[in-house]
Amino acid sequence: MSALSLKDYRRITVKIGSALLVDRNTGLKRDWLASLADDIGALAANGAEILVVSSGAIALGRTMLGLGRRALKLEESQAAAAVGQIALAGAWAEALGKHELTSGQILLTLGDTEERRRYLNARATISTLLKMKAVPVINENDTVATSEIRYGDNDRLAARVATMMGADLLVLLSDIDGLYTAPPTLDPNAEFIPVVERITPDIEAMAGAAASELSRGGMRTKLDAGKIATGAGTAMVITAGTRQSPLMAIERGERATLFRPSTHPVKGYKTWIAGQLEPAGRLTVDDGAVKALLSGKSLLPAGVRQVAGNFSRGDTVAILGPDRSEIARGLVAYDAADAVRIAGLKTTQIEAVLGYEARSAMIHRDDLVVNGNGIEI
């Protein structure tokens, strides 16, 4: 892929998996980290702004605490993260400092990107670091996150950060050098795909599972990240991070898969809506509502056939077509209980049912984003 050059991008988010940074026996892979820091230093010297989303705190902490490979209890994982985060932050500061780059640690929980006020606060902090020519090193705050309030993998976290910060490119450094038609470890005839124009159901069907016990992510989560990133106008690259200087390897034309950004990206306020990782509820609509949404109209109660979830007014909900496929997301104007009561009703009937004059739209067009192809309505 000699046509792909990182020098063409102004702001780049780089995600590093745990298995790349940490050896389960010896701990931090300092030589590899130094080579990646060399790459980041070269890109920064060329004028690029770099954001790092770095896994590895739990993996490093469990090695330092001698916890071995056994499954950890939640509190053990959190303790390992507490130890690992300090060591990891210090390692990044040292590696980037050799290139006269200052690093700043940002620890995020799910609410920091899913709740609007905290999203804006996180964005402001990271923006200030970039203005000061510092390199934000971002990770999920595994010391407090539980299964109910976590991203689940750093691929989607990286995509959320990339879109939040308006990055031009998201690079996922992995233990695989790109996307194949099938998992290459299982199918020797799997074919490499150098460029993905759009993430379709056929592309998603090619995803495999995670290959390492150190990593929570697999190709499925990378494609989920790709949908978030490309829909907001951010290109994405999946490439092998197992080699030294993995970013410069892309410059040398070594194998990587490029996911092109949408030609009609979601922007601004709607980027936050479209990138919501877990909708609070789901509204199934009829064919007429689907056509209305695609033509740029609001979602009216009359087109809603089913309501699922315990959501509140202002929450992000997914909109499903009659075939149960997700077609859009938006900020709902009603609590779940009222949405159930007015589903299928004409606008003129709402006040009589609810007992008060209410909004005519279940979701207004200004709070709606069509998913999948990046078309904004």
Segment (H or E) for 18: helix 18-21
Buried b (16+ CB within 10 A) or exposed e, 294-332: eeebbbbbbbbeebbeebeeebbbbbbbeeeeebbbbbb
Report strand pairing: 256-259 vs 235-240: antiparallel
The DSSP line for 60-71 is: HHHHHTT-TTSP
Using alpha carbons, select from 94, 73, 72, 87 the residue that is nearest to residue 214. 72
Q: Determine whether the annotation assigns residue 270 to a binding site.
A: no
* Residue 374 · residue 230 · CB < 8 Å: yes
SS (H, E, C) 308-372: EECCCCCCEEEEECCCCCEEEEEECCCCHHHHHHHCCCCHHHHHHHHCCCCCCCCECHHHEEECC
Tokens of 179: 């996307």
Q: How many Å apart are CA 140 and CA 57, to the nearest integer?
A: 9
Q: Determine whether the annotation assigns residue 154 to a binding site.
A: yes
Q: Determine whether the annotation assigns residue 360 to a binding site.
A: no
* Residue 155 · residue 140 · CB < 8 Å: no
- Which ranges in 195-330 belong to alpha helices (H)? 201-204, 219-231, 246-251, 269-274, 287-294
* Residue 368 · residue 296 · CB < 8 Å: no
* Residue 157 · residue 140 · CB < 8 Å: yes
Q: Determine whether the annotation assigns residue 55 to a binding site.
A: yes
Name residue, tokens 């790349």: 20
Q: Determine whether the annotation assigns residue 335 to a binding site.
A: no
Task: Work out whether the CA dihedral 90, 95, 100, 102 comes out positive or negative.
Answer: negative
* Residue 228 · residue 235 · CB < 8 Å: no
Q: Determine whether the annotation assigns residue 245 to a binding site.
A: no
Binding-site residue ranges? 15, 55, 142, 154, 174-175
Binding-site residue ranges for substrate? 55, 142, 154
Binding-site residue ranges for ATP? 15, 174-175
